[in-house]
Amino acid sequence: MRPTLVMIPCFAGAPWDLTQLTHLGDWPMRTLRLPDDLNDIDAVADFVLENVHDLDTYVLVGDSYGAVISIALATRQPAALRGLVVSGGFARNPITSPVLKALAALAPYFPGPFYRSLTLRVHAANLRSAFDAEGEIPWSTRKTREFFLHETPHKAYVNRVHSIQRADYVARLPRISVPTLILTPEEDRLIGKDACQIMLAGIRGAEEVVMPRTGHMFRFSHPGAYSLEVRRFLERRILGGASENADQFVVGVGRPQAIQGRWPGSGPPTANLDLTRAGIRSIVVGVVAACSAEAALANNGYNAHGFGVKASGMGGVGIALPQDSIAAAINPAGLGFVGDRLDIEGEWRRASRGATISGSPLPINGDYDGNRRSDFFVPAMGYVHTLSPTMTLGISLVGSGLNTSYTTPIPLFGTSKATSNLTQVFLAPSFAYKVASDHMLGIALNLVQQRLKVEGLENFTGTGSNQASQSPGNVTNRGEDSAYGLGVRLGYIGRVTPWLMVGATYQTKTSSGKFDKYRGLIPRQGAFDIPANYGVGVSAKPSNRSTVALDVVRIRYSGIPTLANPLSRLTIDGQPLGSDNGAGFGWRDVTAYKLGIDYAVMPQWTLRAGYNYGKQPITPGETFFNMLAPVTTERHYTLGTTWIPNHTWELSFFYMYAPEGRVMGRNSIPMAFGGGEADIRLRQQAIGVAFGWKF
């Protein structure tokens, strides 16, 4: 049977609003109002003890002044006590400011207007935080003062001030023998940083969680985050059967220095991951090198169906649902919603593609297997750092592209095995700015490296009367070539109601340098820019445990000559390959529809599912050249999950299956090549894993 959670009020003395603790709704809870006439902490602890004598087991949950009451009671080691949660608390009087001490000394002698207009104004000002306005329930100094005016008579205020002045339980802290959680706001002007360190040093096995971007009033401004951290602690330490005196690995969400304890039998947790600037730089360099060596395969055209393992498990949604630091690759405004974190990911993809030629008078009809290489590994990473309550920096690294490699030559193309491999690596420094509470704007620079390799097109290297290229020596079999580009992505995300978020994003066309080695194949002497895209998204929370999200994205392939120009530019118009108006792949624009849902089955586990549909970009008359790029899949089904073992680490997975898509050629092989039809196909699946570290 679960112990009852006994909620001990803050200095105001008012009972808790239990309906706001959304993640504790299935736990038995009890709260109370503190008496106004007691001026001693131990006397108030006696009052609480009388109100819990009927409970077989309970956990004390004390906030601020309620925390020191809970500590006083816990040091008595009551038999029914099973756990202790304190937030914004202290073990002895934390007031050191001469101004506050003087105000406390004068408070008994100045009731009425002095109390309402001066004492409570100063008190509320010292509880203020720069993060209050961005809470789940936007908070303010005015709200704090009004709360005290309504709930705390002058007599009660004076008695509680006197009780704090005499409070000192430091020497008794070692008597506390139950699992203990200390919730610390990132900014607490009243209590300060030393109070938590004193409790951690005195209570054996106590653990601290720093609540990022919160202040002393975070129980009021962030009740959902507050109750979630309490629930995680209860599931892990109370229901999980953890030893009360075991050495714990304890995490700090907000700051690396908040980490206490260690992994059992090992050194400190920071020894396992080098997160210094040099360490992060090494990780970036390593991932860049790995991305450069691999090619992602086509999904929505050659755009990946999603960026980031969490988004990929939900059909690729992310415009209005940022979930990790790689969210900036979808919408840079998302940086402001994910907190400080580092994510490192790896994705394995398998493709099955090929082509069938039929109806040709030449002895070339038959099936051609494009799976000389079928397996690909695509890494990614992201990093987010909060500069201030309104500004966030980040960087993400993701890959995209396409690959086809035939096991035999295609006689219409050449005498060696036809291969096309395009890899694109996007390194995106990003910046997000809060323009209003829960409304962010973002910008990212897309620094792109493209790598291209083409083989098996010897039939297009002829000269004289057979010349098809303006530079026949730069069509095929030239090895790998590189080009670099620069573009911009803009984004917006806003919370329009407590349960609904909307977003929008726009990526400009990315201008790229030229593939000089293939200037005889690619239009405009090797220029291969990256298309613009734009989209809108919405995410809604039908319940506290679930989220539903929808994105619609438009990809402008028609703005890139290499992708948009039809084969008729060569066969009818007589424009040689590589010229300004040379032939390309004849792609049309793509609109992708992405739908995803997640559900938190328990605090440690979240499940995801999604569906992604985008009409493939190839028309039936353009399948001949697209034997080199058979991006024919349209439907994508995804599953995903995240496991959160503690408040710092998380592990996520996704699986994607794209059933075979086919484009049947129609008048696809020009008569200059003998006529007939080329049918193309592609089927894909992918598995990804992501490691996230929050700090």
pLDDT for the residue 100: 56
pLDDT for the residue 298: 53
Alpha-carbon radius of gyration of the chain: 31
Contact 385, 325 (CB under 8 A): no
| Residue indicated by tokens 């328990």 | 602
pLDDT for the residue 286: 46
Contact 490, 443 (CB under 8 A): yes
pLDDT for the residue 437: 85
pLDDT for the residue 283: 44
Per-residue confidence band for 453, with pLDDT thresholds at 50, 70 and 90:
very high
Q: Which residue has the higher pLDDT, 166 or 19?
A: 19
Pairing of strands 58-63, 4-8: parallel
Beta bridge partner(s), residue 662 = 681
Whether the predicted pLDDT of 289 surpasses 80: no
pLDDT for the residue 247: 32
Max CA separation in the chain (angstroms):
108
- Please choose, from the candidates 310, 336, 317, the residue with its C-alpha nearest in 3D space to the C-alpha of residue 494: 336
Whether the predicted pLDDT of 316 surpasses 80: yes
Angle between the N-to-C axes of helices 154-165 and 41-51, in degrees from 0 to 180, rounded to the nearest 10: 110
Tens of pLDDT along 600-625? Answer: 998 899 999 999 999 999 999 999 99
pLDDT for the residue 9: 94
Of the listed ranges 134-148, 270-284, 424-438, 653-667, the least confidently predicted one is 270-284
Whether the predicted pLDDT of 242 surpasses 60: no
Tens of pLDDT along 468-502? Answer: 999 999 999 999 999 999 999 999 999 999 899 99
Q: Which residues contact 308 (CB under 8 A, 6 or more apart)?
A: 318, 323, 324, 326, 327, 329, 330, 343, 345, 380, 382, 690
Contact 588, 611 (CB under 8 A): no
- Please choose, from the candidates 354, 352, 395, the residue with its C-alpha nearest in 3D space to the C-alpha of residue 376: 352
Contact 519, 578 (CB under 8 A): yes
Q: Which residue has the higher pLDDT, 187 or 245?
A: 187
Q: What average pLDDT does range 563-572 have in this prediction?
A: 92
CA angle, residues 116, 120, 121, in degrees to nearest 5: 100
Nearest-angstrom CA–CA distance, 213 and 135: 9
| Residue indicated by tokens 């390799």 | 453
pLDDT for the residue 101: 60
Give the whole-number percent of the chain exceeding pLDDT 90.
67
Q: Which two tokens stand for residue 320?
A: 């209005």
Nearest-angstrom CA–CA distance, 694 and 285: 21
Whether the predicted pLDDT of 258 surpasses 60: no
Per-residue confidence band for 76, with pLDDT thresholds at 50, 70 and 90:
very high
pLDDT for the residue 271: 32
Whether the predicted pLDDT of 270 surpasses 70: no
pLDDT for the residue 120: 83
Contact 594, 588 (CB under 8 A): no
pLDDT for the residue 94: 76
Beta bridge partner(s), residue 182 = 86, 208
Q: Which residues contact 134 (CB under 8 A, 6 or more apart)?
A: 213, 389, 434, 437, 438
pLDDT for the residue 648: 84
Whether the predicted pLDDT of 241 surpasses 70: no
Per-residue confidence band for 116, with pLDDT thresholds at 50, 70 and 90:
confident
pLDDT for the residue 402: 84
Whether the predicted pLDDT of 432 surpasses 90: yes
pLDDT for the residue 276: 40
Summarize the chain as % helix, strand, coil (round to 5). 25, 35, 35
Of the listed ranges 69-73, 110-114, 121-125, 216-220, the least confidently predicted one is 110-114
Q: Which residue has the higher pLDDT, 646 or 321?
A: 321
pLDDT for the residue 175: 93
| Residue indicated by tokens 């069938």 | 356
Whether the predicted pLDDT of 165 surpasses 60: yes
As a dihedral over the C-alpha atoms of residue 663, residue 665, residue 669, residue 674, rounded to 10 degrees, the angle is 130
Q: Which two tokens stand for residue 58?
A: 């309970």
Per-residue confidence band for 118, with pLDDT thresholds at 50, 70 and 90:
confident
Average pLDDT over the chain, rounded to an integer: 86
DSSP annotation of 276 reads S
Whether the predicted pLDDT of 442 surpasses 50: yes
Q: What average pLDDT does range 586-609 have in this prediction?
A: 94
pLDDT for the residue 266: 29
Whether the predicted pLDDT of 33 surpasses 90: yes
